[in-house]
Amino acid sequence: NAGVTQTPKFQVLKTGQSMTLQCAQDMNHEYMSWYRQDPGMGLRLIHYSVGAGITDQGEVPNGYNVSRSTTEDFPLRLLSAAPSQTSVYFCASSERDSSYNEQFFGPGTRLTVL
Amino acid sequence: SQQGEEDPQALSIQEGENATMNCSYKTSINNLQWYRQNSGRGLVHLILIRSNEREKHSGRLRVTLDTSKKSSSLLITASRAADTASYFCATTSYTGGFKTIFGAGTRLFVKA
């Protein structure tokens, strides 16, 4: 099993550009989520999904869109990148929901917005 | 605002000593988890404790949970240089959907 994979690993954008961060898992996990981590800080929840076709907002959803058309994939879209979105983005998945199960994290995408 | 807050923010100890990190949170939770992050890497799950449990052990790790005080502690015994990392607590609550919220973390440095 590859676990949770994220692409790209690094990305530089100009202000106003759009892009999609990819996340995929091969563990048949129902629960997936996106976090951002700013320097010296913990992770902040952006969006999460409890299954295909179901998504919800986390702590910091503004400026980001998600969709969940399959169990495996959970892409994160930045519609119009801003310097404040410079961060490391982590995708995570867990079995059932995160109430009783550990989350498995991808290696992260380091995003810089100029 | 973040649900979990760790204390201390940074901790430096000698190899062989014990390291204790604390986490406080604000609302009712379903479970509390501790994760480790090595510099520049993703998070690795260490241990999960449910809201109806008070203590759990895993190898050199001991976690306690006091729901009346809304706090948890992570004890690493006989620390090693390889334990150098950031440690995060994460609380899961049901608010129309299960959300897991992370604290800002404790940076642990174990000197050889």
CB within 8 Å: A90 and B42: yes
* Structure confidence at residue B1 (pLDDT): 43
Per-residue pLDDT tens digits for A57-114: 998 999 999 999 999 999 999 999 999 999 999 999 998 765 667 889 999 999 999 9
**A64 contact partners, CB below 8 Å, separation of at least 6:** A34, A46, A47, A76, A77, A78, A79
A3 versus B99: the higher-pLDDT residue is A3
Give the DSSP per-residue string, A56-100: EE-S--TTEEE--SSSSB--EEESS--GGG-EEEEEEEESS-TTT
Q: Tens digit of pLDDT per residue, chain B (112 long)?
A: 446 688 899 999 999 999 999 999 998 998 999 999 998 788 999 999 999 999 999 999 999 999 999 999 999 999 999 999 999 999 988 776 678 888 889 999 999 9
A71 shares contact with chain B (CB less than 8 Å): no
**A72 contact partners, CB below 8 Å, separation of at least 6:** A24, A25, A26
CB neighbours of residue B72 within 10 Å: 24
A106 shares contact with chain B (CB less than 8 Å): yes
CB within 8 Å: B42 and A107: yes
Per-residue pLDDT tens digits for A16-46: 999 999 999 999 999 999 999 998 788 999 9
B103 shares contact with chain A (CB less than 8 Å): yes
Facing residue for B99 by CB, picked from A40, A58, A92:
A58
Among residues A46, A44, A45, A26, the alpha carbon closest in space to that of A95 is found at A26
CB within 8 Å: A102 and B96: no
If you measure CA to CA, which chain B residue comes closest to A31? B98
CB within 8 Å: B33 and A108: no
If you measure CA to CA, which chain B residue comes closest to A49? B97
A58 shares contact with chain B (CB less than 8 Å): yes
Facing residue for B100 by CB, picked from A56, A98, A108:
A98
B48 shares contact with chain A (CB less than 8 Å): yes
Among residues A98, A99, A108, the alpha carbon closest in space to that of A43 is found at A108
B23, B72 in Cβ contact below 8 A?
yes
Query: What is the number of alpha carbons within 13 Å of residue A75 lying toward its C-beta?
Result: 12
Per-residue pLDDT tens digits for B61-70: 999 999 999 9
If you measure CA to CA, which chain B residue comes closest to A48? B99
Report the residue count for chain A. 114
Cα–Cα distance, B50 to B2 (Å, whole number): 19
Q: How far is CA B81 from the centre of its chain?
A: 18
pLDDT band of residue A6 (cuts 50, 70, 90) is very high
A26 shares contact with chain B (CB less than 8 Å): no
Among residues A30, A90, A2, the alpha carbon closest in space to that of B40 is found at A90
CB within 8 Å: A42 and B105: yes
Cα–Cα distance, B79 to B112 (Å, whole number): 10
B64, B71 in Cβ contact below 8 A?
no
Structure tokens at A109: 């995408």
